Amino acid sequence: MFPVYDVIVVGAGHAGCEAAHAAAKMGSKVLLCTMNMNTIAQMSCNPAMGGVAKGQIVREIDALGGMSGIISDKSMIQFRMLNRSKGPAMWSPRSQNDRMKFAEEWRLALEQTPNVDFWQEMISGLLIKDNRAVGVKTGIGVEIQSKSVVLTNGTFLNGIIHIGEKQFGGGRTGESAAKGITEQLVKLGFEAGRMKTGTPPRVDGRSLDYTKMEVQHGDENPEKFSYSDETTTLKEQRNCWITYTNKEVHNSLEKGFDRSPMFNGRIQGLGPRYCPSIEDKINRFSERDRHQIFVEPEGWKTVEMYINGFSTSLPEDVQYEAMRKIPGFENAKMFRPGYAIEYDFFPPTQLKLSLETHLIENLFFAGQINGTTGYEEAASQGLMAGINASRKVQEQDPFLLKRSDAYIGVLIDDLINKGTEEPYRMFTSRAEFRLLLRQDNADLRLTQMGHEMGLADDRRLEKMLDKKSDTAKLINDLKQKKLSPDLVNEGLEGFDTATIKEKITVEKLLKRPQIGLAEVMNLDADIKLYLSKYSKVVLEQAEIQIKYDSYIDKEQQMVEKMNNMENYRIPVHFDYLAITALSAEGKQKLNKIKPETMGQASRISGVTPADLSILTVYLGR
Amino acid sequence: MSFSLHEKEDTIVALATPQGVGAIAVIRLSGKDAIKITNSVFKGKDLEKQASHTIHFGTIRDGDKIIDEVLVSVFVAPKSFTKENVVEISTHGSSFIVNQVIKLLIRHGARPAKPGEFTQRAFLHGQFDLAQAEAVADLIHSDSETSHQAAMNQMRGGFSSEIQKLRNELIHFASMIELELDFGEEDVEFANRNDLKVLVEKLLLAVELLVASFDLGNVIKNGVPTVIAGKPNAGKSTLLNALLNEEKAIVSEIAGTTRDFIEDEINIGGVIFRFIDTAGLRETTDMIEAIGVSRTQEKMKTASLILYLFDLTDTDMVEINRDINRLENQGVPFVKVANKIDKASAEFVSELKAKYPDTIFISAGQKENLEVLKSRILELVNLDKFRTGNTIVTNIRHYDSLVKTRQSLLDVLEGLDRQITNDFLAMDIRRSLHYLGEITGEITTDDLLTNIFSKFCIGK
């Protein structure tokens, strides 16, 4: 009934979809297995993509030739560029999305991707031969052969949903949990753990009073995620609203604390500190008398609203009563209560940088199974796992991104070397080179690589190369073009910056904080004419590169310094256990993770600076 | 430096006390077989059956021949300096005996230790962190009380804890900045720029103090560079010899490979004074006369202290005024020392006392008033604060990292003034954290996030 597939992907969430798409694009024969074909690419939590650090990841996925950017654009109902007031490295695209459209667009995209087959059923086990993954076994006992397997099970592995004192098995509300895989992997020697996450209630938008809330509009000039021409920016947008909890809400919630699975010990998994439930916020920060609530529409037309900031696993009656004390929610009707979910994950220190497991060859993990949280984090791992499963089958070297290449590189390097105790989310502060890893240059950083792998198409590459050469030409011109005092001094005064005494190049002028290319256009008509030849993207890129070049240079130097450590290779079969001098924890961690370089060793948690000095002594430096 | 695994498990042996003749000498062994090897040449109790931290009397024998009567101290791993088995053999202080014993131990399986190898082993076995290991090296090379105290302080972690404090404050500062970057959308209050500036200035002051302490630290380690200046026959050699003889403590002659002159070190009140170019001094080169000569002038400038010595029987006020004027222009602290008080005219002395009341009158030849001179010298270098246990940076690597930390913090301060956005500020702060990390170990972004999550309610 089935051919022998190159890659079988188990799970069709953000990670699974990217994995299946990437592997198929690179010429692998792919089977995508899901428990329900109607829930492909669900946004299980909030109907939004991107945000600080996450928006950069979506841009990176897109630059490599992944789909998340395009799907987000096609289903977008609002766009905002966050952190505009800060430097360009902090600018972060974020969208609100139509949940149903998002899922539909993904499904259509996969259906139109040659080489992707589908199978709807729970996968209950892996076929393993000589420590190598060779297929999967389904719930009804069908065996499907393949050369590699990518597991992207999300919250489904032994998922348990908690609402107050009720608990029941499930991977999402209304969907059953997956059994069998964890048990098999543990038997094979894998270490498994439990994590917890949660989601807020959904309500009927018609029952809310928006006059009591602040409206939050999208950007006046919305942008988009994808660098490609396949998508366009929004002409029309939907609003979100902001409101706040108060003492009354908190008191009401506290009444249910004795029935909270969080506080009575029923939930054992560790939840994320940065995405706490409302009961957690009240409990830990009791001095605060209000917390922010975002009311986000679930789509263009639906009346369903997502109550961001009100994630909870308190009993539904407590949720309902407390919610109605929020300004604007006095008459709110609830569609679905919030809940917490516990699920199995596998500490990612059991993986190689390619996301292949150390224990079983040709078996790859991506997404929440690795202890991460977030659509973007999952999608990027799925992309990398799909790429590397495909390359492994095609007997090519793994495709790895360095910490200085991309947030995706930071993410995977952190997971593999440090593991994670709580659901791992990306922050810009995790990246040591965040001035280089900007949303405006993900294509310049990555598209060439994506093209070489056969993932990003020729059009993407050409577009990137044009942007690159236009930017270089523009910067060069701006270094030559000079402005004279009589022409621009009046304008400069208007911009609240010092006048000039002699001619000055546009490049020099752009270094001033008050002056951007928009200001330069207003200073001189000739310059305006000249600049209008260039696209907005090129103008922005040139401005950023000129304005921040000294900082970018400084960071570039740090990259080179780090690369010294990265290039300092540790022999593959180095025997850490033989070095009595190493700390007990350092020895154990080094032996488990087997870092390829001193740089990687230095980032392993539990490996101390003293351990590193000892290693350097042994390795002969 | 590279060692094979095998080399690191050898038993090493070396003389632990200074070369030369003393009442006793201590030979130290460290390694798995330290006790076994010693036992094989020792006649007395069976050392391999003795408890740790015990001392045993016996003889060291080469076959039937007794080399020496000794005391053997046994330290069983891991309760020793190196965390290996350690044996210390106290022999009589003859270099002949010492050499015989060491040769014998080598014949029985020990290997001569390389310089610093005992400390290296202690470090490799986790006895110290890097800063502490460096302090041990300093301790071994310290030859004065203050230098010893600075090293001891560092070894006990005084320096590390100071840096730790600094590190925590920097992390706090960095997380204030990161908070606004990663959580700008959150409903939390962000630090205002004035508060941030106050915080950076506070940090900067702490780093400045540590950086400044390096100069003091350097003095402690290497001695106060001192010059005796004066006309020929003013008694410079006599004074130097008087000071040398007075102090029974360390007097050494170091013939530096890169230096073409000889130095003498004198320990006064626990502080080392290093007399520059005393070779020239002994040839009675007149440094005051030659003050225009650049080489001499350079010497004077590198000195931290000048002893201006003049002969009361062979000078006049005009000459003294001129010399003092020149010295004042040099900007180096100096002591006016009037020599040959025993032969001077009372009239001239009282004239001088009136004009320069801080002159010290001595007789180098008669060793008269040398104590007063010494206490003045100590007063002038004002090293009292060194002995109060304040943290002092003595290691060039630490100094270097602190200077870079300081520069990054100055960049942060400048950035705050120029109103640059937090992402660029953060970059300079990260650099300062990185440099500080070079001393005690890396600071990870986890540290920053943990700090943020513990202080602020984050998350929707």
pLDDT in tens, A251-270: 999 999 999 888 888 887 77
In chain B, what residues touch A90 (CB-CB under 8 Å)? 181, 184, 421-423
Instruction: Give the chain B residue whose CA is nearest to the CA of A513.
Output: B420
- Whether omega for the bond prior to residue A571 falls within 30 degrees of 0, making it cis, is no
Q: Do B460 and A294 touch (CB under 8 A)?
A: yes
User: Is any Cβ of chain A less than 8 angstroms from the Cβ of B293?
Assistant: no
**Does the pLDDT at position A590 exceed 80?**
yes
Inter-residue contact A195 to A41 (CB < 8 Å): no
pLDDT at A574: 86
Residues B15 and A561: their CA atoms lie apart, in Å, by 41
Least-confidence region, from B51-60, B183-192, B439-448: B439-448
pLDDT value at residue B258: 26
pLDDT tens digits for range A417-428: 989 988 999 999
- Per DSSP bridges, beta strands A48-50 and A30-34 are unpaired
Q: At what angle do helices B158-182 and B422-440 cross, to 10 degrees?
A: 160
A555 touches chain B (CB under 8 A): yes
Residues of chain A with CATH 3.50.50.60: 5-43+67-80+100-200+343-402+416-424
Fill in the DSSP letter of residue A446.
Answer: H
B158-216+394-455, which class in CATH? mainly alpha
| pLDDT of residue B289 exceeding 70 | no
- pLDDT for B402 equals 84
A5-43+67-80+100-200+343-402+416-424: which CATH architecture?
3-Layer(bba) Sandwich (3.50)
Q: Nearest residue of B to residue A430 by CA position?
A: B445
DSSP E strand stretches across A436-483 = 482-483
The topology under which CATH files domain B5-127 is: Gyrase A; domain 2 (3.30.1360)
* pLDDT, averaged across chain B: 74
Burial B142-164 (b: 16+ CB within 10 A, else e): bbbbbbebbbbbbbebbbbebbe
**Interface contact B457, partner A, CB < 8 A:** yes
Low-confidence winner among A87-96, A132-141, A275-284, A352-361 (lowest mean pLDDT): A275-284
Q: Are B224 and B305 in contact (CB under 8 A)?
A: yes
Give the Cα-Cα-Cα angle A315, A316, A317 (nearest 5 degrees).
Answer: 95
Is the pLDDT at B297 greater than 70? The verdict is no
Using the predicted structure, report yes or no on whether residue A322 has a pLDDT greater than 90: yes
**Interchain CB distance below 8 Å, A617 and B125:** no
Is residue B145 pLDDT above 60, yes or no? no
A583 touches chain B (CB under 8 A): yes
Query: With an 8 Å Cβ cutoff, is B172 touching chain A?
Result: no
Domain ranges in chain A with CATH number 2.40.30.260 = 202-339
| Cα A616 to Cα A601: distance, rounded to the nearest angstrom | 11
- pLDDT reported for residue B442: 53
Q: How far is A288 from chain B (nearest CA, A)?
A: 9
Q: If one looks up domain B220-387 in CATH, what number appears?
A: 3.40.50.300
* Fold adopted by A202-339: Elongation Factor Tu (Ef-tu); domain 3 (2.40.30)
B441: contact with A, CB 8 A cutoff: yes
pLDDT digits (tens, 9 = 90+) for A156-170: 999 999 999 999 999
Please calculate the CA angle A71-A77-A78 and round it to the nearest 5 degrees: 110
What would the mean pLDDT of A400-428 be, rounded to a whole number?
93
Among the residue ranges A228-232, B73-77, B90-94, B184-188, the one predicted with the least confidence is: B184-188
β pairing state of B111-112 and A292-297:
unpaired
DSSP string for A286-305: TT----EEEEEESSSS--EE
Shortest CA distance to A141 belongs to which of A153, A125, A130?
Answer: A125
Q: Angle at which helices A99-111 and A14-25 pack, to 10 degrees?
A: 20
Residue A33 and residue A123 in contact, taking contact as beta carbons nearer than 8 Å: yes
- Are residues A556 and A589 in contact, defined by beta-carbon separation less than 8 angstroms? no
Size of interface A-B (CB pairs under 8 A): 129
pLDDT at B178 over 90: no
> Which residues make up the CATH 3.40.50.300 domain(s) of chain B?
220-387
Given a cut of 80, whether residue B47 has pLDDT beyond it is yes
Of B182, B419, B431, the CB nearest to A53: B182
pLDDT number for residue B191:
75
CA distance B305 to chain A (A): 40
Please check the confidence at residue B4 and state whether its pLDDT lies above 50. no
Decide: A76 and A238 in contact? Cβ < 8 Å: no
Specify the domain boundaries for CATH 1.20.120.430 within chain B.
158-216+394-455
Interior angle at CA A525, CA A521 and CA A528, nearest 5: 40
pLDDT at position A460: 97
Cβ of B449 within 8 Å of Cβ of A87? The answer is: no
Q: Which residue would you say has higher pLDDT here, B6 or A2?
A: A2
- pLDDT digits over B424-451, tens only? 888 888 888 878 777 765 555 566 666 6
Position A558 scores a pLDDT of: 79
Question: Residue B183's pLDDT band (boundaries 50, 70, 90)?
Answer: confident
pLDDT band at residue B369 under the 50/70/90 scheme = confident
Per residue in A365-388, pLDDT tens? 999 999 999 999 999 999 999 999
Q: Where in chain A is the domain with CATH 1.10.10.1800?
A: 458-551
A432 and B445 in contact by Cβ < 8 A? yes
Sheet of B305-311, strands arranged across: B253-255, B262-268, B271-275, B224-229, B305-311, B334-339, B360-361
Q: Are strands B224-229 and B253-255 parallel, antiparallel or unpaired?
A: unpaired
Q: Give the closest residue to A360 by CA, choosing from A131, A517, A34.
A: A131
What is the pLDDT, as a whole number, of residue B326? 81
* Joined tokens for residue B187: 């409903």
Per-residue pLDDT tens digits for A427-478: 998 888 889 999 999 999 999 999 999 999 999 999 999 999 999 999 999 9
For residue B292, pLDDT over 90 is answered with no
pLDDT at A406: 97
- Residue A540 has a pLDDT of 95
The verdict on a CB contact (< 8 Å) between B182 and A427 is yes
Alpha-carbon distance of A295 to A306, in angstroms, equals: 6
Question: How distant, in Å, are the alpha carbons of A308, B195, B239, B283, B345 from that of B339?
Answer: 88, 59, 9, 19, 12
Kindly identify which residue of chain A lies nearest to residue B440, measuring between CA atoms.
Answer: A609
The pLDDT score that the predictor gives to residue B440 is 63
Sheet with A76-82, edge to edge strand ranges = A48-50, A92-97, A76-82
Task: Indicate whether B314 pLDDT > 90.
Answer: no
Find how far residue A207's CA is from the centre of its chain.
33
Q: pTM for the complete prediction?
A: 0.75
pLDDT, residue B389, reads 42
Which of the listed CATH numbers 1.10.150.570, 2.60.120.590, 1.10.3720.10, 3.90.220.20 matches domain A568-619? 1.10.150.570
CATH entry, A458-551, from 3.30.300.90, 3.40.50.2300, 3.30.365.10, 1.10.10.1800: 1.10.10.1800
pLDDT at residue B280 tops 60: no
pLDDT at B350 over 70: yes
- pLDDT reported for residue B256: 28
**pLDDT attached to residue B252:** 34
Interface probe, candidates A292, A306, A429, chain B, greatest B C-beta count within 10 A: A429
* Predicted confidence (pLDDT) per residue in B245-259, tens digit: 654 333 333 332 223
The number of helix segments (H) and strand segments (E) in chain B equals 17, 14
Q: Which residue type occupies B379?
A: E
Six-digit token string for A361: 């060859």
List, for residues A527-567, the tens digit of each pLDDT value: 899 999 999 999 999 999 998 898 888 888 878 877 777 88
A55 touches chain B (CB under 8 A): no
Q: How many CA atoms lie within 13 A of A575 on its CB side?
A: 6
Q: In this complex, is the C-beta atom of A498 within 8 Å of any C-beta atom belonging to chain B?
A: no
Looking at beta carbons, which residues of chain A come within 8 Å of B160?
Answer: none
pLDDT score recorded for residue B112 = 81
Q: How far is the alpha carbon of B454 from chain A, nearest alpha carbon, in Å? A: 9
- What pLDDT is stored for residue A495 in this prediction? 86
Chain B, nearest residue to A275 by Cα: B459
Kindly state whether A561 is in contact with chain B, defined as any CB-CB distance less than 8 angstroms: no
**Using a CB-CB distance cutoff of 8 angstroms, which residues of chain A are in contact with residue B416?**
none
So what's the pLDDT on residue B128? 62
Of residues B125, B424, B431, nearest to A581 (C-beta):
B125
Residue ranges matching CATH 3.30.1360.120 in chain B: 5-127
Nearest-5° angle of CA B286, CA B291, CA B293?
100
How far apart are the C-alpha atoms of A370 and A377, rounded to whole Å?
Answer: 10
Maximum distance among all Cα pairs of chain A, rounded to whole angstroms: 83
User: Residue type at A442?
Assistant: A
φ/ψ of residue B352, rounded to 5: -65, -45
Q: Residue B143: beta bridge partners?
A: none
Mean pLDDT check: name the lowest of A162-176, A576-590, B211-225: B211-225
Q: What is the mean pLDDT of residues B238-242?
A: 80
A348-356 average pLDDT score: 96
Contact flag A87-B182 (C-beta cutoff 8 Å): no
